[in-house]
Amino acid sequence: MPKTPQAIRGTQDIFGPDAEAFAFVVDTFERVRKLYRFRRVEMPVFEKTEVFARSIGETTDIVSKEMYSFDDRGGESLTLRPEFTAGIARAYLSNGWQQHAPLKVATHGPLFRYERPQKGRYRQFHQIDAEIIGAAEPQGDVELLAMADQLLKELGIEGVTLHLNTLGDGDSREAWRAALVEHFRAVKDELSEDSQERLEKNPLRILDSKDRRDQCFVADAPKIDQFLSDNARAFFDAVTSGLDAAGVKWTRAESLVRGLDYYRHTAFEFIPDEGSEAAGRLGSQSTILGGGRYDGLMESLGGAPTPAVGWAAGIERLAMLVGDKGEPLADVIVVVENDELIDRAIAAIGKIRAAGHSAELMASGSPRKRFDKAVKAGAEKIVAFAIRDGAEHVRIKADEHATGSLEKLLD
């Protein structure tokens, strides 16, 4: 016998309750993004490699070691998207979507990163994503975060808090960066190998380090607040007071930097509270939603300076927190007790579905047992077609009201 091929490491075949939870996350996101008037966009799964390399930054983990890049048959380097934002920014510039600014868009779908697979971390994973492009005001950040907060509530997820930081504007960020380099250079030999490397290339990332050797030096590293310009401080104050007005709970996280180079001002993550049930379910892969303001990104793609803010959340991680959604029962089961009546039943089930009721046909296995099988399957309404004394006999098992409307429907 030929051997069955294995799935690719880090991919998932999602089925059963997991697939229901996944769909629940996507459906809820679709509903909530409409409440906030975000427009749907569909994006290519692959782009020219430079789209990601230039916008995300060569020194990031994503670009330096996680991208699925390949040459196509024409010899062009392409990359399976590791995130949505860069592709959306490229589309904004190449389609002239400036005319719609401020543009609020939402999308979801698969992303690809070459990472070490583990619980909550895959090589093909899925995100929901929301972006506001061409909005310089802090209200954009507030609206985006209020949407994220409402989404988590509507998903029934509890024990998750918004961790919020500011990276300041370009000048504040540069001054902070210089102070961080000085701070960490003094203890360079005691840092992890990764952080020693980051020191020259991307020192902010040391704050993001999960390595224990780095953590005590991170704790007493200089904080952004000392370096904030008046503008940057006013911007952050407007974001936090807007969040308070919107009733979104948040906590300040002075070391939160986010992995990507393009962030300015607001940076945030939604993280389960320590000791909460959500934290237990997610294990070490704890961040479920992250994002921030990326005012510098469009320029890295050759566009005009364009203020923008966005977030993305892992659908799998959200699905792990929404719990068992169960498989929905059929509204109606149509039972064929005599096989000659199959076409009658097919016609009837068509009418039932057209009227908006979910319906399942029960027409296989022993004809005598089909009705009992339908009862066991838990359907509230059953329509059974049988032949009794040589004549067609339709039996409806439902409450009085439903029986009446089914009779009318099938008449």
Annotated binding-site residue numbers for L-histidine: 83-85, 113, 127, 131, 258, 262-263
Give me the 71-110 binding string for ligand ATP, x by CB under 6 A, dash otherwise: ------------x---------------------------
Contacts for 304-308 with beta carbons within 8 Å, 24 or more apart? 306/92, 306/98, 306/101, 306/133, 306/134, 307/134, 307/135, 307/136, 307/140, 308/89, 308/131, 308/132, 308/133, 308/134, 308/135
Q: Check if the beta carbon of residue 333 is closer than 8 Å to that of residue 379.
A: yes
Return the number of the residue (242 or 290) whose C-beta is nearest ligand ATP: 290
Interaction with ligand ATP in 17-36: which residues (CB under 6 A)? none
Rounded distance between C-alpha atoms, residue 146 and residue 235, angstroms: 17
In this chain, which of 57, 203, 290, 310 binds ligand ATP, going by CB under 6 A? 290
Please, are residues 61 and 259 in contact by the beta-carbon 8 Å criterion? Answer: yes
- How many residues make contact with ligand ATP (CB under 6 A)? 19
* Nearer CB in complex with ligand ATP: 77/284: 284
Should residue 115 be labelled a site residue for ligand ATP when binding is judged by CB under 6 A? Answer: yes
Q: Specify the residue, 131 or 337, whose C-beta has the smaller distance to ligand ATP.
A: 131
Strands of 68-71's sheet in order across:
46-48, 77-80, 68-71
Which residue, 283 or 404, has its beta carbon nearer to ligand ATP?
283
Measured in degrees and rounded to the nearest 5, phi and psi for residue 364 equal -130, 165
Query: Cβ(396)–Cβ(374) under 8 Å?
Result: no
The rounded distance, in Å, linking the Cα atoms of 355 and 405 is 11
CB of 10 to ligand ATP, least distance (A): 8
Element (H, E) at 195: helix 193-201
| Nearer of residues 300 and 384 to ligand ATP, judged by Cβ | 300
Burial class for 298, CB neighbours closer than 10 Å (0-12, 13-18, 19+): buried
Residue 47 Cβ vs ligand ATP, minimum distance, rounded to whole Å: 16
Question: What's the min distance (Å) between Cβ of 65 and ligand ATP?
Answer: 12
CB closer to ligand ATP out of 268 and 385: 268
Instruction: Fill in the per-residue mask, 120 to 139: x = in contact with ligand ATP (CB under 6 A), - = not in contact.
Output: xxx--x-x------------
How far is residue 41's CA from residue 342's CA, in Å, rounded to a whole number?
43
Nearest residue to ligand ATP by CB is: 314
CB of 266 to ligand ATP, least distance (A): 14
Pairing between strand 359-362 and 332-336?
parallel
Structure tokens at 342: 């199959």
Q: Are 236 and 172 in contact (CB under 8 A)?
A: no
Please say which residue, 215 or 358, places its beta carbon nearer to ligand ATP: 215
Q: What tokens were used for 111?
A: 């992303």
- Shortest separation between residue 186's beta carbon and ligand ATP, angstroms: 27
Q: Please tell me what DSSP assigns to residue 224.
A: G
Site for ligand ATP in 210-269 (CB under 6 A): 259
Of the candidate residues 54, 81, 113, 177, the single one contacting ligand ATP (CB under 6 A): 113
Give the contact letters, 270-289, x = binds to ligand ATP (CB under 6 A), - = no: ---------------x-xxx
How many of the other CB atoms lie within 10 Å of CB of 280? 10
Binding residue positions: 83-85, 113, 127, 131, 258, 262-263
Binding mask 300-319 for ligand ATP (x = CB under 6 A): ------------xxx-xx--
Rounded to a whole number of angstroms, the minimum distance from the CB of residue 314 to ligand ATP is: 3
Binding mask 314-353 for ligand ATP (x = CB under 6 A): x-xx------------------------------------
Tell me the C-alpha distance between 315 and 155, whole Å.
Answer: 12
CB 306 within 8 A of CB 100: no
Which residue, 106 or 313, has its beta carbon nearer to ligand ATP? 313
Residue 214 or 316 having the CB closest to ligand ATP: 316
- Residues interacting with ligand ATP, by CB under 6 A? 83, 113, 115, 120-122, 125, 127, 259, 285, 287-290, 312-314, 316-317
